[in-house]
Amino acid sequence: MSLSEYLTPEHIRVPLTSATRDEAIRELITLLSPELKDAEKAYQAVLAREKIMTTGVGNGVAIPHCKNEACTDFSLALGIHPDGLDFNAVDQKPVHIIVLLIGPENNPAQHIKLLSRVSRLLNNKAFREELLRAPDAAAISAALEQYDNAL
């Protein structure tokens, strides 16, 4: 399983222009809307998941995610916010790298596998630094492929 299969350059936004966590999530949902049956339902499901527990995992990273009937297959979107956003992260630091994962409700095992792979990849400091330096979606896509293949 390669994340590049799910995270194409069309699903990458550099830079995110949103001023809040919720706006950033909506900005990323918009990138995925062609694949979603109901983008608003997916957005509300991600926000509901955020209310349960923050997806700001630390080191400037957040991985908002949900399982929802609005999605028939797994979709990933990635955004870089230059100033950082408040995600109420576990380390209380601003989030600069946001990876959104939305998947169907009927495949929890694949959902966990994708979350785990995203998490392992973003745990790599060199990869995070390369994402933050990347000027555009093509550069992020190339870095993703390089680091993902090394996992």
β-strand partners of 78 = 12, 99
Record the tokens describing residue 109, joined without a space. 């095992």
Please report the pLDDT score of residue 69 as a whole number.
Answer: 85
Q: Which CATH number fits the domain 9-150, given the four candidates 3.30.1700.10, 3.10.100.10, 3.40.30.10, 3.40.930.10? A: 3.40.930.10
Look at residue 98 in the predicted model and tell me its pLDDT: 99
On whether the CB atoms of residues 59 and 76 are closer than 8 A, the answer is no
Q: Which regions of the chain are under pLDDT 70?
A: none
In the prediction, which pLDDT does 124 show? 98
In this predicted structure, what is the pLDDT of residue 72? 87
Name the token pair of 12.
């990458």
Q: How far apart are CA 102 and CA 59, in angstroms?
A: 22
Give the per-residue pLDDT at 71: 84
Distance in angstroms (rounded) separating the CA atoms of residues 44 and 30: 13
Q: Crossing angle for the helix pair 125-133 and 108-122, nearest 10 degrees?
A: 80
Its pTM surpasses 0.75: yes
Q: How many residues does the chain have?
A: 151
- Amino acid 1: pLDDT: 73
